[in-house]
Amino acid sequence: MKSVLLSWQFWALLSAAFAALTAIFAKVGIENINSDFATFIRTVVILVVLGGILIGTGQWQAPTSVSGRTYLFLVLSGLATGASWLCYFRALKLGDAARVAPIDKLSVVLVALFGVLFLGEKLAMPNWIGIALIASGAVLVAYKA
């Protein structure tokens, strides 16, 4: 069991499951509320829960222990996350969860492309085929006949 908890695959699958629940819960939750305010509520919940986890597990770090470069990229990541959430909730407010979520998951394709372009990561032909299949699949799932 311990080896499963140390597996990135296990945590990635849990992430996918929670992301799916996020879409379903959010779609119902934003029914009678502005999508930006809904994002705010969601963010407050995340801050409170994560703060509790950090304190409860003793993982809190002194802010001075973090480098300026790390702060820069985490702030940029936070801004991108916030923008993503705002756009995602707006899309959910306007569209079907079953169609919004697959388009949102095109981020998988973009991460692969950005990883190659900006991080120098290398992908083999099977990886590129998988990226093409993910992109095609997302478009097909989002297609409204």
pLDDT category of residue 40 using cuts at 50, 70 and 90: very high
Could you tell me if 102 and 144 are in contact, meaning their C-beta atoms sit under 8 angstroms apart?
no
In the structure encoding, which two tokens stand for residue 80, read together?
């991108």
- Has residue 1 got a pLDDT over 80? no
* Mean per-residue pLDDT, 26-55: 94
| Complete DSSP assignment for 26-60 | HHHHTTTS-HHHHHHHHHHHHHHHHHHHHHHHT--
pLDDT, residue 70, reads 96
Burial of 30 (0-12, 13-18, 19+ CB in 10 A): buried
Could you tell me if 24 and 92 are in contact, meaning their C-beta atoms sit under 8 angstroms apart?
no
pLDDT category of residue 137 using cuts at 50, 70 and 90: very high
Q: DSSP label at 105?
A: T
* Mean per-residue pLDDT, 67-93: 94
pLDDT, residue 144, reads 83
Percent pLDDT > 70 in the chain is 99
* Four-CA torsion 75, 17, 25, 81, nearest 10 degrees: 10
pLDDT, residue 3, reads 86
pLDDT category of residue 6 using cuts at 50, 70 and 90: confident
pTM: 0.80
pLDDT, residue 75, reads 95
The angle, 0 to 180 degrees and rounded to 10, between the axes of the packed helices 8-29 and 68-94 is 50
* Mean per-residue pLDDT, 87-113: 93
Could you tell me if 106 and 33 are in contact, meaning their C-beta atoms sit under 8 angstroms apart?
no
- Has residue 4 got a pLDDT over 90? no
